[in-house]
Chains A and B, each alone.
Chain A
Amino acid sequence: GQQLNQSPQSMFIQEGEDVSMNCTSSSIFNTWLWYKQDPGEGPVLLIALYKAGELTSNGRLTAQFGITRKDSFLNISASIPSDVGIYFCAGHSSNTGKLIFGQGTTLQVKP
């Protein structure tokens, strides 16, 4: 079945550093979504991407929909302590109608 490989699994960085994480799949997706989950909370949608090659920003966050439609990247610039949490990618295929989530990237920021 469809699977998403998200990497890295975890990151421990210094405040102010830039962060990059990605998701790859052997399948094509029509939509890529990036979520952040704080401890004890539900995921919150950060960015949605709808077209191959699309680059979208939300404040210090930038995400890209890969040209092959099989991958997506999320970058966080100038990280701050409140960026701590788990980041999930999700891909939606209009063929299967399914929404598949990556395993998550746990981000820790050292002040």
Chain B
Amino acid sequence: DGGITQSPKYLFRKEGQNVTLSCEQNLNHDAMYWYRQDPGQGLRLIYYSQIVNDFQKGDIAEGYSVSREKKESFPLTVTSAQKNPTAFYLCASSILGNDEQYFGPGTRLTVT
């Protein structure tokens, strides 16, 4: 079964702790993305990567970091510098040059 997996589905952390969200795809897509979704709001782009070992900041990159060491994997770290980290985080991927993005099931992060 080809697709995007995100783990875990729910994540709880204490304020001040860094946390890493996993995103893996077996679609052989070059491009991968991280979005943040808040209640009643659209998706906002955090980071994206079009090739291994390269990534670009999106609209709301502050307080987040990413790595792209493998084509299949694009983990997102929510650092303690992120002022309001509680949100639903979505990972997506696409064929480079193709507009259609495929989304994973998301990780709901709660920081207290």
A and B: bona fide binding partners: no
Residues of A within 8 A of B (CB): none
